[in-house]
Copies of this chain bind each other. A is one copy, B any other.
């Protein structure tokens, strides 16, 4: 049987309910893949993982390389091994979705990167929250939003079918890191001038839950429909 694995630590639903404790080290996470996205304890910025190196785009606009002991509440990683590469010109989100649809990959998870020249990239980074943690929706008012024009860099992220909404982000979930590693974040919008889309569909999805974390094991989850509304507000 075909095997290619997407690893996920934690759930988006858990973040929606304010469970921001880090429950896996970056070191452990990187054993599961060399490419991915996530966040750090307290929703401290936006993680981008490329070639086995993690970058953390913070709410103050800086990008740092976090220590391997950094604790992570939520992340996705995989081994970068694209099945296909496509040249892109003058494209945006809908064009990437168009490729996934044309290739009949909408019913499984897909990992993707877009390397190239961007006309515009609009990102956000959440500010580190402290205990008692607020809900995800409430952090939205404290996020920093950035926009850069004419920038080289890379989008990294995933497509997730609607069936898995709540466990993860439905549709495209992309982070960005500039070529000079000085700018990045969770992508709100972008325009590619020219670039290359590389993607791979996953046969396997491995969800790892923080079963040793008492807060996670004992919390009463908000109903999924409410979680979806919260996520929409936070995006």
Contact = CB atoms under 8 A, between A and B. Distances in A.
Given A206-B204, A206-B205, A217-B107, A163 B11 contact: yes
Given A107-B216, A216-B107, A161 B221 contact: yes
B107 A209 contact: yes
A112 B24 CA distance: 27
Interface string A12-28: 01000000000010001
A207 interface: yes
A217 B104 contact: yes
B163 A13 contact: yes
A212 to B, nearest CB: 6
State the oligomeric state as a number of copies. Answer: 2
B28 A1 contact: yes
A208 B1 contact: yes
Interface string A189-222: 0000000000001111111110110101111010
B224 A162 contact: yes
Interface of A: 1-3, 11, 13, 24, 28, 104-105, 107-108, 161-167, 201-209, 211-212, 214, 216-219, 221, 224
Given A2-B211, A104-B214, A107-B218, 10 more contacts: A1-B24, A1-B212, A11-B163, A107-B209, A107-B217, A107-B219, A162-B224, A165-B224, A201-B211, A203-B208
